[in-house]
Structure 1
Amino acid sequence: MIRYGIVGCGHIAKKHVAAIQAVEGAELFAVCDTNEERLAEFAVDGVRGFTDIADLLKTEVDVICICTPSGLHPQLTIQAAEAKKHVVVEKPMALTLEAADRMIEACERNHVKMAVVHPNRFRPAIRELRNMLESGRFGKIGHANATVRWNRNQAYYDQAPWRGTKEMDGGVLMNQAIHNMDLLLWMMGDVEEVSSYHATRIRKIEAEDTSVSVIRFKSGALGVLEAAVTIYPKNLEESLSIFGETGTAVIGGPTANWIKTWNFEDISEPEKEETIKKVETDPFGIPGHQWIIQDMTEAVKENRQPIVSGLEGRQALSLVIACQQSAETGRAVKMEDLARKK
C-alpha cells in the first residue's frame, strides 16, 4: 500500500480523502492541520492526526497531499521533499516561478516525485477533444478560446482572510482560471507571447477579479483567455473552444463538461452524435482527483514521473505570471523570459 498524508483539512481535502479511499493500493494514513477542530473531522477510523507537519514527516507516510492556502504550498512541499516524501500539491503549485523552481529542485535533489492537481484533463469531454487533436482531425489550428465566467461573491472572499490576496490567493487567473490555462497549453502547445489586461472591478479584494488576455502560440495560432469571478448571479460558463481548418469544437456548460459543438470534415453525423451521447451519459466520469491519486500511486510503484508533474504545473503557472506581468507593465511578455534556469 502507498500511504498518504494530507496537510490542510479544509474544503479541498475532502476530495483528496475520497480519492485516496477510492484508489486500490492507496491508504489514507494521516492528516495534519494546526486547527484541532478541523483536524478532528478527518482523524477518524484509524487515521492518525498531527498538528505539526514535522511530526507527520517522521512517520512511514509515502506521499504528502498539500491542501493548504496557495501561498503555503512551496515551503510545505520543500519540507516534505527534504524528508524524502513524494508530493501531490494542489493548484496553483506556487504563486511565483522562483518558488515553483525551488519546489521542483527540492524534489529532484531528493529523488521524490511531485504531481500538481490539474484534474480537468481527465474529464470525458476534454479527453475526447485531446483525442481529436492528436489524430489531426482539426487540420491546421487557427485559434483557440478559454473562458471562465463564474461568480465568487463578496461573502466567498470574506469567509477566509487569505482569499483575494496577492500573497496567498493570487487572483482570478491564479485561483480559478489556472485549470483552463493548463488545458489550453495541453491542447495548443507552448506559448510565445501574451498581452493582458487585468482589473478589480466589483469585488473588494486586493487581487484582480477580471482578466482578458491575447496569446500567440509558438505554432502561430492565436488564443483568447477571459476570466472573471464577477458574473451575476451565479456561474455562467466555463468553456474551451478550438477552431481549425477542418474542425470546430466547443466544450462548455457552467463547467467544461459537455460537448456544445463538434463539427469535423471527416466525421459523419452518426459518429458525431455517438460521441456527444457518450459524453452526456457520463459527463463527469471518474473524479479528477481520483485520477491524480491513481496516477501518483502507480508512478511511485513503477518509478516514473506523474502525468501532471511539477514541470507541467510550472507551465500553467508561467502563463499566469506572464499575464500578470503584461497587465502590470502594459507590454507584451515573451515566455522565453520566464523559462526555467538550470
Structure 2
Amino acid sequence: MNFAIVGCGHIAKKHAKAILAINDAKLLAICDTDSNRLESFYTDYKAKKYTSFEELLNNKEIDVVNICTPSGTHAALAIKAAAAKKHVILEKPMALTLEDADAIIHACKKNHVKLSIVHPNRFRPAILEMKKAIEAKKFGKINLVNASVLWNRNDDYFSQASWRGTKNQDGGVLMNQAIHNLDLLVWLVGDVAEVQAYADTRLRNIEVEDLAAAIVKFKNGALGVIEATSTIFPVNYKESISMFGESGSAVISGPTANWIEHWEFEGEPKEHSQYMKEKIKQDPFGLPGHQHMISDMIEAVKNNKEPAVTGEDGRKALELVLAIYKAAEQGKTFKL
C-alpha cells in the first residue's frame, strides 16, 4: 500500500521510519507548505514532493494519508483526504473540538475509508500485559487508577514553532502530551462519567495549561487520578499508569511508562511478579508503536475491518481532555 505523509515536522520522522520498515508499505509522497522543511525531509526519506495538499490528493496511487500537521489543522485536512477516497492515519489529538472530531468521523464513514488515530502507547509490551490481565479479570473489581505525566517542555521547545503552546493550534500538556495516557485510562478501564479538575499556566509563556490535576469517576464506579505537567525541572522525570483492584495491583512506570514497577495478583506466587518485571525489562519498547499502527491500517484495509484505534477511540480521549478543561474552568463537577 502506498502512503503519503503530510506535515514534515518531528513526528513525521516516526511515520516515515515505520513505513520504510514494513514490506507491504511504501512511502510514495511527502507534503509540506514549507519548501525548506520539505527538502530537508526529502534528504532522508526520498519520495515525491508536494507543497500543495490538493495536488497530492489528486495522485490516485496514494492509498493512505498520514496527517502529521499542527493539531488545529487536522480536521480540514482529514475531511479533504476522506473526500478524495484516501484512508487516514491522524496524529493525536485527532482534533481540538468534538465538533471537528465528529466531522472527521462522519467524512470517513461517508466516503467508506478507514480512520486510525495515533495512540501508539497501547502497543507497549507492559501496557499489553496490563490489558490482558484486565481482560482475564485478574484485578477483580477495579477500584483506583492513576495516570501521571511529569515531563519537561521548556521555552526552547515552545519557540521551535509558532503554533506550539497556542489554544487554536496546539493545546496544553493534557492535549499534547498526556492525551496518550488518558486514552489508555479509557481503553483499560472504560468510559468516564464525570470529572473534577484544576488546570493552570504556571511557568511557561504559553496560552494553554502547563499544569493540570483531575479526579475522574468512571461509569463502572472506579476513581482515577490524573496529574500532568510540562514544567518538571530540569528534564522529564517519569510517566506512569497504576491500577489497583480487589485482587490485583500493577504499576507501569519509568521515564516513559514502559517498565513494570509493581505486579501482584491473588493466587500468583511472588516469583511471577519478578518474572514479569524481567520479561518486560528484556524488551520494554517492543516494535515501535507507529509501526504497529501502519501495519494495522494495512490489515484493516485488506480485511475490511476497523483499525485498532478508531476515530471513536480518538474522540473519547479528546472528550476527556475537554471535560477536564470544562471542570477546571467552571470550578465544579463536569458530567460527560
TM-score, with normalisation over the residues of structure 2? 0.98
Match of 2:277 in 1: 276
Once the two structures are superposed, the pairs formed by residues 100-249 of structure 1 within 5 Å of their partners are: 100-249=101-250
Q: In structure 1, what is the Cα distance between the partners aligned to 2:324 and 2:335? A: 10
Match of 1:55 in 2: 55
Q: In structure 2, what is the Cα distance between the partners aligned to 1:237 and 1:266? A: 30
SS at match of 1:4: strand
The amino acid across from 2:280 in the alignment is V
Q: In structure 2, what is the Cα distance between the partners aligned to 1:304 and 1:328? A: 40
Give the superposition deviation at 1:176.
0.6
Give the superposition deviation at 1:275.
1.4
Give the superposition deviation at 1:264.
1.0
Conserved 8 A contact 1:117-1:289:
yes
SS at match of 1:43: helix
Give the superposition deviation at 1:263.
1.2
Say which is worse superposed, 36-45 or 70-79, in terms of deviation: 36-45
1:6 aligns with 2:5: yes
SS at match of 2:76: helix
Please list the CA deviations of residues 150-180 of structure 1 after superposition, one character each: whole Å capped at 9, or x if unmatched: 0001111122111111101111100010000
Give the superposition deviation at 1:43.
3.1
SS at match of 1:304: coil
1:22 aligns with 2:38: no
The amino acid across from 2:241 in the alignment is L
Q: In structure 2, what is the Cα distance between the partners aligned to 1:115 and 1:29? A: 19
Q: In structure 2, what is the Cα distance between the partners aligned to 1:281 and 1:263? A: 19
Please list the CA deviations of residues 193-250 of structure 1 after superposition, one character each: whole Å capped at 9, or x if unmatched: 0111101011111101000000000100101000000110110110000011111100
Q: In structure 1, what is the Cα distance between the partners aligned to 2:81 and 2:267? A: 50
Match of 2:38 in 1: 39
Q: In structure 2, what is the Cα distance between the partners aligned to 1:106 and 1:246? A: 44
Conserved 8 A contact 1:210-1:228:
yes
The amino acid across from 1:37 in the alignment is N
Give the superposition deviation at 1:270.
2.4
Aligned length: 334
The amino acid across from 1:51 in the alignment is T
Match of 1:338 in 2: none
SS at match of 1:242: strand
Q: In structure 2, what is the Cα distance between the partners aligned to 1:77 and 1:259? A: 37
Give the superposition deviation at 1:269.
2.1
SS at match of 1:115: strand
Q: In structure 1, what is the Cα distance between the partners aligned to 2:46 and 2:151? A: 39
Q: In structure 1, what is the Cα distance between the partners aligned to 2:84 and 2:176? A: 28
The amino acid across from 1:31 in the alignment is I
The amino acid across from 1:132 in the alignment is A
Question: Which consecutive unaligned segments of at least 5 residues does structure 2 have?
Answer: none
Q: In structure 2, what is the Cα distance between the partners aligned to 1:92 and 1:291? A: 18
Give the superposition deviation at 1:326.
0.9
Give the superposition deviation at 1:37.
1.4
SS at match of 1:225: strand
Match of 2:88 in 1: 87
Give the superposition deviation at 1:41.
2.6
1:329 aligns with 2:330: yes
SS at match of 1:12: helix
The amino acid across from 2:164 in the alignment is R
Once the two structures are superposed, the pairs formed by residues 228-307 of structure 1 within 5 Å of their partners are: 228-307=229-308
Q: In structure 2, what is the Cα distance between the partners aligned to 1:236 and 1:28? A: 35
Conserved 8 A contact 2:262-2:273:
no
1:311 aligns with 2:309: no
SS at match of 1:305: coil
Give the superposition deviation at 1:24.
2.2
Q: In structure 2, what is the Cα distance between the partners aligned to 1:150 and 1:42? A: 28
Q: In structure 1, what is the Cα distance between the partners aligned to 2:26 and 2:82? A: 20
Q: In structure 2, what is the Cα distance between the partners aligned to 1:119 and 1:301? A: 21
The amino acid across from 2:246 in the alignment is E
Q: In structure 2, what is the Cα distance between the partners aligned to 1:46 and 1:155? A: 29
Match of 1:340 in 2: none
Q: In structure 1, what is the Cα distance between the partners aligned to 2:20 and 2:156? A: 32
Please list the CA deviations of residues 26-83 of structure 1 after superposition, one character each: whole Å capped at 9, or x if unmatched: 1101000011111123335751000001111011200000000110100000010010
Q: In structure 2, what is the Cα distance between the partners aligned to 1:123 and 1:290? A: 12
Conserved 8 A contact 1:30-1:43:
no
The amino acid across from 2:7 in the alignment is G
Q: In structure 2, what is the Cα distance between the partners aligned to 1:243 and 1:291? A: 28
Conserved 8 A contact 2:199-2:213:
yes
SS at match of 2:10: coil
SS at match of 2:231: coil
